[in-house]
Chains A and B, each alone.
Chain A
Amino acid sequence: MLPLLRAAPVGAPALLLLPLLSSTPAAAYPFMIRHGYTGCGECHTDPSGGGTLTEYGRGQGVILLASRYGAHPEGWEPPDSKDFLFGALPLPEQLALQADLRALLIPKPGDMRVIAMQSDLEASVDAGPVRAEASAGWVSEGAERAWITSNTDPGGNLVSRVHWLGVQPTDDVLIRAGSMHLPFGIRSEQHILMARSATGTDTNDGQEYGLDVVAQAGKVRAEVMGIAGDFQVSPDDYRQRGYSALLGWGPESNLEVGLSSKLTHAALDEATRVPATRQAHELFGRWSPTRPLALLAEAGLTTLGSGGSTAVGSVGYLQADVEPVQGFHVQGTGEWCDDDLSDDAAPVGRGWLALQWFAVTHFDIRADAFYGTLYCTPGTDPSFMGLLQAHAYL
């Protein structure tokens, strides 16, 4: 069996792009549908969300995301401190730079750990028909599929999560190639959601290389990506190839429903180490019945076809995000996952309570408490878990 190597020599497409550009696990906030944002392209260079903020996105970071301390004076506008390095380094309008820092504390008695999840420098270019985005950074552990170095000793690794180059033949269409987040489900920074891990579509290190087309037509957004494999993983047998696609419809300003579909095949599946074809097909929805409340849900089926047999599973969640005052969020989430509906192992579930406070522009903190299992591992006993996160972007 071929050993799986992380951080293969970066593939040719990446070599071409990395010197030009340089991003992050997506800090995409799908609860923004409460403000009429059924899509993501207003605030992010990536039309499907996450990563580098546009000028408008940085403005909304002040106007809508961060806590307010008193009324704004007449004629108030978001200050220049919303910008890169608090406005100390003015940039041409075609260029956006951003630094994202995210640290995680796992307060486990006797085994307290601090993980540098993200310390990325991101850049994006939006110049006429050309749009591009790239990131480079360092993680102390985890995010293996995004490594561009291969250090297995303490000290962490350099990572590049996204690097893509695209053209926009029209304002509503973007065609791009490179390493990207996969178009699937509801994109958020909560990469440990089982709907992400069980479908291989998280934004921490679930990116793949490929060719992608994103289009917006009225209230419909669509994205299809042909997956060529993760060239930061080697040998080639471990690279999965296929497609991932998403179709979303926002009939109202406070509602989006959609479908996602993904199919990939690898000569050696990373988990099973045998040839396998994986599929995931799901429905998703976001709805804000009243401004303080945003509901997010995904539900779907997964399949793992290998050695002549196919295991069909299911995964999904319902999440309620409540924002009683601007900047302070209370999230409750219920998840389930079953990797094989036909076997005797009971599906796993997880209850999740989170408090998130966007205390000031550029900075948020978050506390999570779970009861359940970390991954989609039926048969595993549930347990309590706690996480503390701090995130800053410059």
Chain B
Amino acid sequence: MNLSAALLTLGLVLSSAPAAAAFQVTGKPKVTFYAEGSPGALDIEGKSGELSLSDDGTTVTAKVPLASVSTGIDLRDDHMKNKYMAIATFPDLTLRFARAELKLPTDAGQSTTGTLAATFNAHGVDQPVTVTYTVKKGKNAFEVDASFDYDISKHGVEIPSYLGITVDPAQNAKVRFEMLDQ
């Protein structure tokens, strides 16, 4: 075991001492926001590779810069960010939850699954959401899969409609990332 791996492992072991630990993202996170358009069956995926965590020991805040989200079509990105999500005023999407609600596995190879109550902020408006998560303790980091449903209209966002296709305001977010707790 090299020194860095040893330190990471030590970090995971010490994570049982919550007072000094803080979550931080490592590796390449994958964040996807799913929406559907109708009539028809248009699947829209807004993808981002940027995710940060801030953790004061009590509350964890996950943040995705809206500028990093891409749907794969330039014009659609422009509409999403500027026309609907008002990126100049509300540049970030955030999810806040109580750190104590996230149950972590203690042994390498083990997983925990559960739900937690969180607050999703989009377009500057907070809304409660329920996050379903799985956390697996890997060799060097926790592997996190989480998702939650949200209704963009409840965040004060006009329901997007373009050339006869209307986007369903009921949407879903999925995130997969690795994190350290140290």
**What residues of chain A have their CB less than 8 Å away from a CB belonging to chain B?**
35-43, 47, 54-56, 58-59, 63-64, 72, 76-77, 93, 171-172, 216, 219, 221, 250, 252-253, 291
Contact = CB atoms under 8 A, between A and B. Distances in A.
Interface of B: 37-45, 72-75, 162-165
Nearest to B71: A36
A221 B41 contact: yes
Contacts of B162: 56, 59
Ranked nearest first, the 6 interchain pairs of A and B with the lowest CB-CB distance are A253-B43, A41-B40, A42-B40, A39-B41, A56-B163, A36-B43
Given A54-B164, A55-B164, A41 B39 contact: yes
A171 B44 contact: no
A42 B73 contact: no
Given A36-B45, A43-B40, A171-B38, 8 more contacts: A38-B43, A41-B39, A42-B41, A47-B39, A54-B163, A64-B73, A172-B38, A216-B39
A169 B43 CA distance: 23
Contact of A253 (B40, B45, B73, B74): B45
B41 A38 contact: yes
B74 A39 contact: no
Nearest to B42: A42
A261 to B, nearest CB: 21
Nearest to B37: A42
Nearest to A248: B41
Contact of A36 (B38, B44, B163): B44
B72 A36 contact: yes
Given A40-B40, A253-B45, A35 B163 contact: no
A59 B73 CA distance: 13
A175 B44 CA distance: 27
Given A38-B41, A171-B38, A171-B39, A56 B73 contact: no
A35 B40 CA distance: 14
Contacts of B75: 63, 72, 76-77
A63 B162 CA distance: 13
Contacts of B38: 171-172
A39 B42 CA distance: 7
B72 A56 contact: no
A287 to B, nearest CB: 13
A314 to B, nearest CB: 30
27 contacts: A36-B42, A36-B44, A36-B72, A37-B42, A37-B43, A38-B43, A39-B41, A39-B42, A41-B39, A41-B40, A42-B39, A42-B41, A42-B42, A42-B165, A43-B40, A47-B40, A54-B163, A54-B164, A56-B164, A56-B165, A59-B163, A63-B73, A77-B75, A93-B164, A171-B39, A221-B41, A252-B43
Nearest to A40: B40
A46 B74 CA distance: 27
The interface centre, meaning the residue of B41, B44, B163 with most chain A CB atoms within 10 A of its CB, is B41
Contacts of B163: 54-56, 58-59
A291 B47 CA distance: 13
A61 to B, nearest CB: 11
Contacts of B42: 36-37, 39, 42
A37 B74 CA distance: 16
Contacts of B40: 37, 39-43, 47, 216
Nearest to B41: A39
The interface centre, meaning the residue of B40, B45, B162, B165 with most chain A CB atoms within 10 A of its CB, is B40
Contacts of A77: 75
A250 B69 CA distance: 23
Contacts of A40: 40
B83 to A, nearest CB: 10
B2 to A, nearest CB: 34
A76 B38 CA distance: 23
A237 to B, nearest CB: 39
A219 B72 contact: no
Contacts of B37: 42
